[in-house]
Amino acid sequence: MTVNPFIAPDYFFVDELLTDEHKIIRSSIRDWVNRSVKPVIEEANQKHEFPLHLIKEMGELGIFGPYIPVEYGGAGLDQISYGIIMAELERGDSGIRSAASVQSSLVMYPIFTFGSEEQRKKFLPLLAKGEIVGAFGLTEPDHGSDPANMETKIKDNGDFYLLNGTKMWITNSSIADIAVVWAKDEQGIIRGLIVEKGMEGFTAPEILGKWSLRASVTGELVFDNVKVPKGNLLPNIKGLKGPLKCLNSARYGIAWGALGAAMDCYDAALRYSKERIQFNKPIAAFQLTQKKLAEMLTEVTKAQLLAWRLGTLKNKDKATPAQISMLKRNNVKMALDVARESRQILGAMGITGDYPIMRHLMNLESVITYEGTHDIHLLITGMDITGENAFY
């Protein structure tokens, strides 16, 4: 077995800000990623297949719903632990982190926060163990950045709700056993429902031919007169703030996740630059290579500190949605830039699957779009600091 040579950059001793528990969690997820993700992920991407067997392993490791209380199957950990887990997963691949983000923040979080006690007890332990897979349906073919205009509808039919509409670009779609779906009721109020695989009229076709997140399932959720039992409505939330609260949690995790991808690229580029000889010198000795590496490390370090700080605010329930937007936007763009610069340092080798960089680069092109695009997050910050809404 080859030993993964990854050395995490920590220029400002951010490790000193972590507890022993944080470090133990990081070490166990890092070992698992080295052992179980790294050896299979390149081929999974080349084949455009999600390595489904990893779901059970992630469940056994406590990766799903780490901040959900233990009584519901979660691990009862803090927000920094959640972030660290996401960073380690995305060091493996954004697709693996995506599966975990959706399961934890977009499926377990709403069931825990907005669900009935019965729903919590029925679904959360199974989701935590990876015995069932979840999906989150907000985006539609005609409504991505503007979910308030969604067209998916529920109609009260006495014993059940009749659900009609289509959700698009949904992570885990065709492998999901349940989906948390957002739809408008007859008064135009957005409600959340748990739709279960096998309900008549519910299909989930996969979207193929992606150049990004190839080791992640993305697809549609199609509802054609699906009869959803009334007990599957999330009773404790109404309005767009429901899905947006879920997104706060997922966006925070993504901001940490992007750090993992960036650190993996930086580490690979640094090592390569010391080994690759051109003009009788390692390319690390050229000023232009050093400029790239020094700037990458500076940006990674800033992103690490921001992520840690937001985690501490989140632990105190003081993180604002606008702060989360700023972090998601900053860290994902940082990771994309680091991946691009790293790829250049590797020259032609940078485009091959022998190194993780091109795969991270392609994945991050999705990460910068989902969970709110780069520009939408800029507008959220703009509105927060000026009080002016520039969306409409």
Q: What is the DSSP pairing of strand 277-278 with strand 218-229?
A: unpaired
The interface partner of residue 105, options being ligand FAD, ligand TGC, none and the CB cut-off 5 to 8 Å by kind, is: none
Question: How large is the greatest C-alpha to C-alpha distance in the chain, in angstroms?
Answer: 79
| Residue 362 binds ligand TGC, judged by CB under 6 A | no
The answer to whether residue 170 forms part of the interface with ligand FAD (CB under 6 A) is yes
Site string for ligand TGC, 127-166 (x = CB under 6 A): ---------x-xx-----x-xx------------------
Find, among 212, 161, 187, 180, the residue nearest to 362 by Cα.
212
Residues with Cβ within 8 Å of 79's Cβ and at least 6 positions away in sequence, in order, are 67, 252, 311, 314, 315
270 binds ligand FAD, rule: CB under 6 A: no
Q: Say whether residue 366 binds ligand FAD (CB under 6 A).
A: yes
Stretch of 26-34, 35-43, 300-308, 365-373 contacting ligand TGC, by CB under 6 A: 365-373
- Asked if residues 246 and 190 have their Cβ atoms less than 8 Å apart, the reply is no
Q: What is the DSSP letter of 207?
A: P
Per the annotation, the verdict on 371 as an active-site residue is yes
CB of 373 to ligand TGC, least distance (A): 7
Reading the block at residue 355, the tokens are: 């190194």
How many residues make up the chain in this entry? 392
Contact letters for ligand TGC, residues 331-360 (x by CB under 6 A): ------------------------------
36 counts as binding ligand TGC under rule CB under 6 A: no
Asked whether the beta carbons of 235 and 115 are under 8 A apart, the reply is: yes
Structure tokens at 193: 């429902």
C-beta of residue 299 within 8 angstroms of C-beta of residue 38:
no
CA dist 196 and 231 (Å) reads 12
Closer CB to ligand FAD, 134 or 311, in the complex: 134
Q: Kindly state the tokens that stand for 348.
A: 């032609």
Which residue, 349 or 362, has its beta carbon nearer to ligand TGC?
362
Q: Which residue is associated with the tokens 């993504």?
A: 254
**Residue 207 engages ligand TGC in binding (rule: CB under 6 A):** no
Q: CA-to-CA distance for 134 and 268, rounded, in angstroms?
A: 33
Q: Which of these segments, 23-31, 132-140, 195-203, 266-274, binds ligand FAD (CB under 6 A)?
A: 132-140
The rounded distance, in Å, linking the Cα atoms of 122 and 144 is 31
The site for ligand TGC, by CB under 6 A, has a size of: 25
- Which among 9-17, 29-37, 353-361, 365-373 is the span making contact with ligand FAD, rule CB under 6 A? 365-373
How far is 171 from 154, CA to CA, in rounded Å? 22
Residue 388 CB, nearest distance to ligand TGC (Å)? 13
Positions marked active-site: 371
Residues that bind ligand TGC (CB under 6 A): 98, 101-102, 136, 138-139, 145, 147-148, 171, 239-241, 244-245, 247-248, 250, 321, 370-372, 376, 380, 391
Residues that bind ligand FAD (CB under 6 A): 102, 136-139, 144-145, 169-171, 213, 218, 366, 369-373, 375-376, 379, 391
